[in-house]
Amino acid sequence: MSSYPALAAPQWQHLEALAANEAGFSVAEAFATDPARFEHFSLAAGDLFLDFSKNRMSPAALAGLLDLVRASGFHERRAAKLSGEAINRSENRAVLHTALRAGQAGPAGEVIAAEVAGELERMAVLVEGMRSGIITGATGKPYTDVVNIGIGGSLLGPHMASRALGRYAAGPMRNHFISDPDGCKLRDLMGYLDPETTLVIVASKTFTTLETLVNARAAKAWLSVRLGQGADRHFCGVSARADRMSEFGILPEQQFRMWDWVGGRYSVWSAIGLALALVVGMEHFRAFLAGAKLMDEHFASAEPEANLPVLFALSHVWHASFLGMTAIVNLPYQPRLKLLPAYLQQLEMESLGKRVNHAGEVVAYPVGPLIFGQVGNNAQHSFMQLMHQGLDSCLADFIAVVDDPDAPERLGLANCLAQSRALMVGNAEAMAGEPHRICPGNRPSNTLLLKELSPHILGQLLALYEHKVFVQSLVWDINAYDQWGVELGKQIATQLQAALRGEPTELPLDPSTAGLLKRLGA
Ligand code: F6P
């Protein structure tokens, strides 16, 4: 059992003592104490601005957190990650999604840079060929629809980004996303898509994910009936396994490769982003990459006290590990970011939802908070009640867009700032005589402002979160880049699927599962 991260035990113990001594810390009073608190607890980087002044965090806590991140080996470990060291120790892999957007300047070496550039160029040829109508389907018609079949990181990134960048999708193609294996989405699409103008992307790093393969086979059957042998022109594959893509029947020239040093939840920058590029075009996709690169360069060069991912990470570490907050609520106040909470759930909880440190010891301190959320305007008519009067165990992350042509009336911005202020100030005095109406206040939040919702700034935002996760894993001494926890369920599901088909199973069954199988007619 590890009580403190080995590297920074003294700094960790200091922060625990501080949290105990500052148990009555009042955010509202902190502004009275320091009229410049907003300036001292906020930072701009690129086109993003983070206000963390409503955190339940004193200047002493901020100083202690910065000492903690330095003592955790920030400078050395940041350099190691960016240079391609195998920091994913349980799988002995490098973590180089930054190389996907670094261009030739990437520090990970010429070979990787060349491979990445080569695949990006191949992607551009296909995207520009299909969008211009030069590359057509088997019957000579231009493509109009692209169906991305994938799950987790092989779907969430392009799906979320396509919605976020809807204003940039004015081209000739629409995209659709399928992940669930029950086939209803594919059946719906088959009801109105024209096979002659439909491209299917089978996106799977391993090319073994059952949900994806079930849908891919169904799509292949559908297209083969209508297009015969020409159906193979209507498939692209994105995977680390070219052999399996060929085995499925994807033409080599329509296969795009992924690499082991790119985790699924960090892969939108690779050809996993193909469905996005086809609808927004390569110019905007390259801008998306450039935005992430700008944040990479900021992260790689800024000192901790002026480093946006570091400060954002320390806000989350402080509230989760030292103030006992078990959840962080993501509240984008722009409906086009509707899928951002789901994307961040995978990025954050598949990265930080761990129980042992790098040495294999079970950690005895809180790590990996729950992440949930939805578009803020809707959340106000849903779970924000709990945030104001219920459990005091959530940190709220508000995200808003400054220049938003979709919302000239700016009601969303008013709501965003109002919710953040209401959580902080509450109304205890005004409602003193009516306890059921009291909002106690002093509830913490961050507010992240995006100058606008453009490809470049969306790239900055996602890279910010990726680096934030890295800093949290550093401070918590855990591996953010493996995901062994998802394997057991997959293994059992394969066996239960056989049982549900009526096949005999030697699987040892608990009475509950056995009883449920029986009720399901197995
Ligand atoms: O959830 C486990 C996981 O491996 C994710 O990390 C990944 O994004 C997803 O499943 C899909 O995996 P693949 O891209 O190999 O189909």
Kindly report which listed range (75-89, 420-434, 475-489, 493-507) carries the lowest average pLDDT score: 493-507
Please tell me the residue having the least CA distance from ligand 1 atom 4.
264
Please tell me the residue having the least CA distance from ligand 1 atom 6.
264
Given the CA of residue 212, which atom of ligand 1 is nearest to it? 16
pLDDT exceeds 70 at position 106: no
Ligand 1 center from residue 141 Cα (angstroms): 33
Tokens of 433: 């005589």
pLDDT exceeds 90 at position 35: yes
Ligand 1 center from residue 257 Cα (angstroms): 15
Query: Strand 235-239 relative to strand 255-257: parallel, antiparallel, unpaired?
Result: parallel
Please tell me the residue having the least CA distance from ligand 1 atom 13.
204
* Pocket mutation for ligand 1, best pick of 179, 209, 214 (most atoms within 8 Å of C-beta): 209
* Pocket mutation for ligand 1, best pick of 205, 259, 349 (most atoms within 8 Å of C-beta): 205
| 306-333 tens-digit pLDDT | 999 999 999 999 999 999 999 999 999 9
Please tell me the residue having the least CA distance from ligand 1 atom 9.
152
pLDDT exceeds 90 at position 178: yes
| 7-37 CB burial, b ≥16 within 10 A, e <16 | ebeebbebbbebbeebeebebeebbeeeeeb
- Determine the pLDDT at residue 486: 94
Given the CA of residue 151, which atom of ligand 1 is nearest to it? 11
Residue ranges with strand state E in 128-258: 145-149, 174-178, 198-203, 235-239, 255-257
Ligand 1 center from residue 203 Cα (angstroms): 10
* Interatomic CA distance for residues 304 and 75, integer angstroms: 9
CB 442, CB 388: distance < 8 Å: no
Give the pLDDT mean for 124-131: 97
pLDDT exceeds 70 at position 281: yes
Ligand 1 center from residue 481 Cα (angstroms): 12
Given the CA of residue 264, which atom of ligand 1 is nearest to it? 8
- pTM of the predicted structure, to 2 decimals: 0.97
Please report how many Cα atoms fall inside a 13 Å half-sphere around the Cα of residue 459, on the Cβ side: 27
- Determine the pLDDT at residue 5: 84
Please name every residue paired with 45 in a beta bridge, in sequence order, or none if there are none: 48
Q: Which residues contact 465 (CB under 8 A, 6 or more apart)?
A: 344, 347, 348
- Say if residue 234 is exposed, middle or buried (CB neighbours under 10 Å; 0-12, 13-18, 19+): buried
Give the pLDDT mean for 168-191: 92
- Determine the pLDDT at residue 107: 66
Under the banding of pLDDT at 50, 70 and 90, the label for residue 169 is very high
- Determine the pLDDT at residue 105: 66
Given the CA of residue 267, which atom of ligand 1 is nearest to it? 8
* Pocket mutation for ligand 1, best pick of 486, 488, 490, 491 (most atoms within 8 Å of C-beta): 486
CB 10, CB 70: distance < 8 Å: no
Ligand 1 center from residue 264 Cα (angstroms): 6
Beta-carbon neighbour count of residue 235 at 10 Å? 22
Kindly report which listed range (196-200, 283-287, 390-394, 395-399) carries the lowest average pLDDT score: 390-394
pLDDT exceeds 80 at position 268: yes
pLDDT exceeds 80 at position 108: no
pLDDT exceeds 70 at position 278: yes
Given the CA of residue 265, which atom of ligand 1 is nearest to it? 8
Please report how many Cα atoms fall inside a 13 Å half-sphere around the Cα of residue 441, on the Cβ side: 19
Residues serving a catalytic function are 350, 381, 490
Ligand 1 center from residue 207 Cα (angstroms): 9
Given the CA of residue 272, which atom of ligand 1 is nearest to it? 14
pLDDT exceeds 80 at position 135: yes
pLDDT exceeds 80 at position 104: no
Under the banding of pLDDT at 50, 70 and 90, the label for residue 3 is confident
Please tell me the residue having the least CA distance from ligand 1 atom 8.
153
Ligand 1 center from residue 261 Cα (angstroms): 14
pLDDT exceeds 90 at position 252: yes
Largest pairwise CA distance in the chain: 77
pLDDT exceeds 70 at position 132: yes
- Determine the pLDDT at residue 49: 99
Q: The sheet that has 394-401: what strands, in order across it?
A: 42-45, 48-51, 445-450, 394-401, 327-332, 370-373
| 194-213 CB burial, b ≥16 within 10 A, e <16 | ebbbbbbbbbbbebebebbb
Give the pLDDT mean for 415-442: 96
- Determine the pLDDT at residue 110: 85
Q: Write phi, then psi, for 378 (nearest 5 degrees).
A: -80, -40
- Determine the pLDDT at residue 7: 83
Ligand 1 center from residue 483 Cα (angstroms): 9
CB 486, CB 15: distance < 8 Å: no
Give the pLDDT mean for 101-110: 78
| 369-416 tens-digit pLDDT | 999 999 999 999 999 999 999 989 999 999 999 999 988 899 999 999
Please report how many Cα atoms fall inside a 13 Å half-sphere around the Cα of residue 102, on the Cβ side: 25
Please name every residue paired with 138 in a beta bridge, in sequence order, or none if there are none: none
CB 374, CB 382: distance < 8 Å: yes
- Determine the pLDDT at residue 447: 98
Ligand 1: lining residues by beta carbon, under 6 Å: 151-154, 204-206, 209, 212, 264-265, 350, 483, 486
Under the banding of pLDDT at 50, 70 and 90, the label for residue 6 is confident
Place of tokens 């992307």: 201
* Pocket mutation for ligand 1, best pick of 148, 154, 256 (most atoms within 8 Å of C-beta): 154
Give the pLDDT mean for 518-522: 91
| 478-510 tens-digit pLDDT | 999 999 999 999 989 988 988 898 888 777 889
